[in-house]
Amino acid sequence: MSEYEALTVPARFNGPTSSGNGGWTAGAIASRLAPGPARVMLRVPPPLDVELDVVAGDLAGSVEARRGDTVVGIAAPAEAPAPVEPVAADVAREAERRYSGLTSHPFPMCFACGTGRAQGDGLRIFPGRVDDDGEGRVRVAATWTPDASLADPESPDVTTLPVAWAALDCIGGWAGDLEERLMVLGSMTAEVSELPRVGEEYVVVGGSRGDDGRKTFTASSLYTADGRLLASAEHVWFAVDPKDFL
């Protein structure tokens, strides 16, 4: 008998059509740890509407989400990620008009960044480019207002932790090279110091951090509209064969 509550990724929280959004899933696994920054490694595409057992992992203080003998994800305490520099709300709002996903999107039904999701259903975080430091480090930004349907049942003024992780997820991919090659989230390290409040506008900022072979490294941060930092994340993405996901 596991000492941790089992985990299911509802179909609403998909990334690719047939698997879970990486950020939401990672946040859900991390929620089984004590509060604080955590790193989650995703081993396989998270299945939808399937109960996963959550058990103590081999690493000290870690937990694993499993489907039978298959490890879906591993979460462990981590160092807090460095934030991405903030962007003013009006600049982020204007950047949304340049969102590449409006013209070509690999996963249009993605919970976090999909253009095919209805208002209030998906997060509809549509990041556009803000600047480039000339050395390949790109920064993108978007605004986001959490819908009431994303509220924590126990604290209805705020979202759940998995939703906060989801908001920090895909914006990293769009700051990286998602426009040029298909990628999925391999690992995500995040610290959420304060959950976003339902109905308030926020600014989400993403930054590229280089690449190495199949790997792309990015970061993201979530700010209030007046520039107060709520959460930050770092990501490792892996290029994949489109036929495995499309």
Q: Which amino acid is at 61?
A: G
User: pTM of whole model > 0.85?
Assistant: yes
Reading the chain (246 residues) residue by residue, the pLDDT tens digits are 467 999 999 999 999 999 999 999 999 999 999 999 999 999 999 999 999 999 999 888 999 999 999 999 999 999 999 999 999 999 999 999 999 999 999 999 999 999 999 999 999 999 999 988 766 789 999 999 999 999 999 999 999 999 999 999 999 999 997 878 889 999 999 999 999 999 999 999 999 999 999 999 999 999 999 999 999 999 999 998 766 665
**Residue whose C-alpha is closest to residue 104's, from 181, 171, 167, 209:** 181
- Residues 2-19: b if buried by 16+ CB within 10 A, e if exposed: eebeebebeeebbbbeeb
